[in-house]
Amino acid sequence: MLAIEVIVPQSAPRHWQQVAIERLEADGHDVAVAHRPGPASWPVAAKAAFHFEQRLFRRRGPLLSSAVQAIQARPGNRPAALRLDLAGDAATSDVPTIGLRFDGSSADLSAAIAVAAGRLPVIEAVLDRKTVVGQARPMVDKRESTALGTEDVFARAITLVRSVVRAFAADRLPREAETHGRGERGRFTSAYLGAALPRLGREALRRARFRHAHWRVGYRFTDAPSVADMGKLGTGWSVLPDLGDHFYADPFPFWWRDQPFVFVEDYPHATGKAVISVVPFDANGVAGEPRVVLEEAHHLSYPQVFERDGVIWMLPEASAGGTLTLYRASAFPDGWIPETVLVEGEISDATLFEHEGLLWLFATDRDGHGSTSDTLVVFSAPGLAGPWRPHPANPILIDHRMARPGGAFVRNREGRVLLPVQDGTLGYGGGLGLSELLELNQHAVRLSAPRPIDAAGDWPYPKIHTLNRAGRLEVIDGIAAVRKRSAKK
C-alpha cells in the first residue's frame, strides 16, 4: 500500500474530505495529513440553503458538504509517494500530486453552484496540475435538491480519489483521459434563487398532484428485428395494465415449456417496498394476472431469470438488503429458494454474461454514499457458485450516462455484443442506450459510448430504462404520469 500525504484546509474542512481520508486508511494506505493555510468557508447563503434542505428532506447527521471542526494534521510512517490535494491550491512539489477539479474549478463550492444551476458537474483528477488521470460524471438523483445533489457529487469525489490511488499504486493511471471544459461560473446565491428554488417549488407541486414515480411495462410478440438491432422502439407495443395503486417495472421475459412468462418488479405505492411478480401469457399472447412469486424483508427488483446447468435461476436486485443473492426455482414459476450470496454490498441491477469460459457480472455499486446509478463494477467467477472476484480495475467507470445496466446482454445481427445502459442525464429513467462490449478480460473492461435508443413508435412512455427480449417476446418499461386521485387511469 502507498504512503500518501493528504492536504486539506486548515480551517473549515469538509466532511467529504474527512471521509476520503477514512476510506483511504480503510484501504490500507499509510496516510499523513497536512494543512494549507487560509479560510475555505462557503458563503452564508449556501450554508442557509443546505440547512433548510436538510431539514426539508429530513436528512440526519452531517452531509458530505458539511464543515467539520478540524481534521488534525499528522505525519505518516514513511515518506509520501503520492500527494492528494483536497484543498485545491497546494504548492507544487517533487512528489506526484493529484488534485480534483469540480466543473473545471479546484474549489469544491463549484459543485454546489453547478447543481443549484441545474447542471451535472464533472469531476476530474489532475496529476501535477497538467494531466487528467481520472474522471467522474456523478448521477444526481434528486434534481430538485441542491444539498442532496451536491451530496451525490461529493460521494463520487471520494470514489474517484480511491480509484486513482489504486491506479497509481498499480502503475496504470490513464494519461489520455477526456478533458472536460470549464463549466459556467456564477455565484451560489444567484444560482440558488434563480434556478434551484423554482425547481424545488415545481417538484413540490408535481408531487402534490402525481405519483412520485410510476412505471409501466410494455410487451410485444414479433418476428421483426429487435430494438437492439434497429436502435429504435418501433411499433406493436401493448401496455401491461395496472390499477394505479402499484406499478410494474424491470421486465425480464422467459419461455418455459413453450409458454412465455414475464418477471417484473411489483411496487405497491402504499408499502414502498417492491416484490417480484410473474405475468403468464396464453397461446394467443394475452397477458394473465400478475402474481407475487418472491418477497423479502427488503426491496426487490430487476429479476433476471435464466437457465443454466438444467436449473432455472433468478438474480434479483436486493441492494437494500446489502447482498446479491442467487435464487433457484423449486417449482417454476412460483417457487424460489435462496441458493447462495454472490456478492455483498449495495449492488444494483447485476447483469450476468458468459465470456471466454468465465461468468461475469456487470452492476453498479453505491460505494457507501451517493447514487446507485453511476459507478460500474464488474465481477467474474468460474461458475455460478463462485467465488466471485472483483475486477482489478473496479470501478470501471463513474458515469451517469452508462454505468447502470438496463437489461440483459444481447448479440445483434452483426454479431456485436451490446449492453442496454441507463442514461441518467435527464434524471433517473430519463433514457436508455446501447453500449458495445469492446474488451473484457482480467486486465481490462471497455464499453463503447452508448447509442441512444430512438423512442419513436407507438409506445406512449418514451422515458425507458429496461429492455429485454426472449424469442419473439420483447419487453420494455417507461415512466408514466399518474395522478394521485385518478390512480385507476
CATH number at residue 408: 2.115.10.20
Strand 397-398 to 389-390 pairing: unpaired
Residue 486 counted as domain residue: no
Which amino acid is located at 238 in the chain?
Answer: S
User: From the CB of residue 211, how many other CB atoms can be counted at a distance below 10 Å?
Assistant: 19
Q: Which residue, of 162, 177, 208, is where some domain finishes?
A: 208
Judged on CB neighbours under 10 Å (0-12, 13-18, 19+), 394 is: middle
Element housing 356 (H / E): none
Regions of the chain with pLDDT less than 70:
38-40, 175-185, 485-489
Which structural domain, as residue segments, surrounds residue 427? 210-479
Query: What's the confidence (pLDDT) of residue 174?
Result: 79
Query: What's the confidence (pLDDT) of residue 488?
Result: 46
Total tally of structural domains belonging to the chain: 2
CB neighbours of 130 closer than 8 A, spacing ≥ 6? Answer: none
Same domain, 232 and 154: no
Q: How far apart are CA 370 and CA 379, in angstroms?
A: 21
Same domain, 223 and 141: no
Answer yes or no: are the C-beta atoms of 327 and 313 closer than 8 Å. yes
- 3-state class of 392 per DSSP? coil
Tell me how far CA of residue 421 lies from CA of 314, 348, 430, 472, in angstroms. Answer: 20, 13, 11, 22
Same domain, 259 and 301: yes
Q: Which residue, of 208, 240, 261, is where some domain finishes?
A: 208
How much is the mean pLDDT over the chain? Answer: 94
Strand 246-256 to 259-268 pairing: antiparallel
Same domain, 411 and 307: yes
Same domain, 183 and 154: yes
Render the burial of 94-118: b for 16+ CB within 10 Å, e for the rest. Answer: eeebbbbbbbbbbbbbbbbbbbbbb
Query: What's the confidence (pLDDT) of residue 365?
Result: 97
| Residue 41: CATH number of its domain | 3.40.50
Q: To 10 degrees, what angle do helices 44-56 and 146-169 make?
A: 100
Residue 239 counted as domain residue: yes
Residue 281 counted as domain residue: yes
What radius of gyration do the chain's Cα atoms show? Answer: 23
Same domain, 44 and 61: yes
Same domain, 223 and 195: no
Same domain, 268 and 349: yes
Residue 133 grid cell: 488521470
Query: What's the confidence (pLDDT) of residue 487?
Result: 44
DSSP bridge partners of 365: 347
Same domain, 274 and 402: yes
Same domain, 281 and 190: no
Same domain, 289 and 360: yes
Tell me how far CA of residue 135 lies from CA of 200, 395, 419, in angstroms. Answer: 29, 11, 22
Same domain, 305 and 389: yes
**Could you tell me what percentage of the chain is helix, strand and coil, using 3-state DSSP and rounding each to the nearest 5?**
20, 40, 45
Residue 343 counted as domain residue: yes
Answer yes or no: are the C-beta atoms of 450 and 401 closer than 8 Å. yes
Residue 298 grid cell: 427488503
Alpha-helical runs (H) found in 57-128 = 109-116
Residue 259 counted as domain residue: yes
- What pTM value is reported for the model? 0.95
Q: Which residue, of 208, 226, 261, is where some domain finishes?
A: 208
Query: What's the confidence (pLDDT) of residue 40?
Result: 64
Residue 77 counted as domain residue: yes
Tell me how far CA of residue 377 lies from CA of 348, 373, 391, 394, in angstroms. Answer: 10, 11, 7, 5
